[in-house]
């Protein structure tokens, strides 16, 4: 286990090599760090640097991308320390979860993607990958200092450091469903074309059988949104077998958003409803 004293800021960085070491070195003032790209933003915004950082970079259980079988179901398992750059290009992610690769390509610029990790993106709770993981029905493996368990993304979003000071995301589990890959979509809307924070990030999936919408999942995040599923709008689309006008209204009602100095709440709702309407119409028409 390495230790680095960063001197000027009086921050000690510990670099454990395995999960089991973390509980031993964890202090009350510790903070986990992976690529440090989101934390760097926080520190630049004036949030105090902690005096003790525990780096996730060398923890062996947080690395690797492979297919695994759990309860006879196949999953793509992605180590939380996988960089966003690797998520854009890794053969298995491109093959089994192409919308995740697509979403990661739209996060920040190459230098940030080379350092930033998928685990840090999820752990920060506002990352653009989260809406995609919602619609892929991904799960998270988390380590609580004693054991690893599997939880949903929704459960992760509800966790607080106070509840469990040692909760670490170790792996992301994505169910492998090779059918209907083309029925997934991701779109990030920013105030300019590239290298920009999202106004909204939208992910979606439609299942169509006998010309009817039989399942739908939509999620929105980006900006300062806590990522959310649009359950009400999903139900309307399925219950009405694809009535896109009823769906449009339901998106505007179910999407909980905000105004800031640049974009109003009303505008965000309209953009979300327009994108979802257009993407769903495209998928429905293609199936006919
Ligand atoms: C210029 C710039 C542009 C950016 N643009 C975008 C963007 O467009 N979209 C976007 O989504 N993000 C963006 N980000 C934010 C950030 O780069 C990403 O969210 C990145 O994925 C964070 O990963 P990281 O490894 O650097 O996390 P860190 O900064 O190391 O950590 C982030 C948080 O997660 C915690 N953490 C890290 N790993 C784990 C783990 N395994 N288990 C539990 N907790 C953990 C840390 O304690 C911290 O609270 C941007 C950042 C910068 C600097």
The model carries a pTM of 0.94
Residues with CB under 6 A from ligand 1: 31-41, 56, 80, 84, 107-108, 112, 115-117, 119-121, 123-124, 127-128, 168-169, 197
Q: Ligand 1: distance of its center to the CA of 22 in Å?
A: 20
Whole-number pLDDT of residue 6: 55
Domain borders along the chain are 2-55, 61-175, 180-287
| Ligand 1 atom nearest to CA at 80 | 41
Class of domain 180-287 as given by CATH: alpha beta
Q: Ligand 1: distance of its center to the CA of 109 in Å?
A: 13
Whole-number pLDDT of residue 3: 59
Whole-number pLDDT of residue 2: 57
Whole-number pLDDT of residue 81: 98
First-to-last CA distance in the chain? 59
* Architecture of the domain made up of 2-55: 2-Layer Sandwich (3.30)
Atom 10 in ligand 1: residue holding the nearest Cα: 127
Whole-number pLDDT of residue 273: 98
Ligand 1, pocket-test mutation among 116, 129, 149, 160, most atoms within 8 A of CB: 116
Give every residue of the chain whose pLDDT is below 70, as ranges. 1-9, 192-197
Q: Ligand 1: distance of its center to the CA of 166 in Å?
A: 18
Whole-number pLDDT of residue 195: 57
Protein fold of 61-175: 3.30.465
Whole-number pLDDT of residue 4: 60
As given in the structure block, the two tokens for residue 154 are 């929704």
| Ligand 1 atom nearest to CA at 84 | 21
| Domain 61-175 matches domain 180-287 at the CATH topology level | no
Per-position DSSP letters for 15-67, written without gaps between them: E-SSHHHHHHH--TTEEEESS-HHHHHHHHTTPPPPSEEEE-TT-GGG--EEE
Per-position DSSP letters for 150-212, written without gaps between them: EEEHHHHHH--TTT-TT-EEEEEEEE---TTGGGEEEEEEESSSSS--EEEEEEEEEEEETTE
């Amino acid at each position: 286990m390495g230790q680095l004293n960063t001197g000027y800021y009086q921050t000690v960085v510990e670099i454990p090599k395995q999960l089991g070491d973390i509980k031993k070195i964890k202090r009350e003032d510790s903070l986990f760090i992976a690529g440090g790209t989101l934390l760097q933003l926080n520190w630049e915004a004036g949030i105090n640097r902690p005096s003790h950082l525990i780096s996730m970079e060398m923890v062996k259980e947080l690395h690797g991308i492979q297919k695994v079988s759990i309860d006879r179901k196949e999953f793509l398992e992605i180590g939380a320390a996988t960089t966003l750059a690797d998520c854009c290009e890794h053969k298995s992610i491109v093959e089994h979860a192409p919308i995740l690769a697509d979403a990661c390509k739209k996060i920040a610029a190459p230098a940030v993607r080379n350092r930033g990790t998928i685990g840090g993106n999820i752990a920060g709770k506002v990352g653009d990958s989260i809406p995609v993981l919602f619609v892929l029905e991904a799960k998270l493996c988390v380590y609580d200092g004693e054991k690893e368990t599997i939880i949903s993304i929704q459960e992760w979003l509800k966790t607080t450091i106070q509840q469990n000071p040692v909760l670490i995301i170790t792996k992301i589990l994505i169910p492998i469903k090779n059918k209907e890959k083309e029925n997934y979509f991701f779109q990030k809307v920013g105030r300019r074309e590239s290298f920009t924070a999202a106004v909204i990030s939208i992910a979606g999936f439609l299942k169509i059988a006998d010309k009817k919408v039989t399942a739908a999942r939509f999620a929105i995040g980006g900006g300062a949104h806590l990522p959310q599923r649009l359950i009400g709008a999903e139900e309307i689309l399925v219950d009405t077998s694809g009535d896109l006008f009823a769906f449009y209204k339901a998106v505007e009602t179910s999407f909980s958003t905000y105004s800031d100095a640049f974009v109003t709440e009303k505008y965000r709702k309209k953009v979300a409803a327009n994108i979802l309407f257009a993407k769903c119409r495209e998928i429905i028409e293609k199936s006919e």
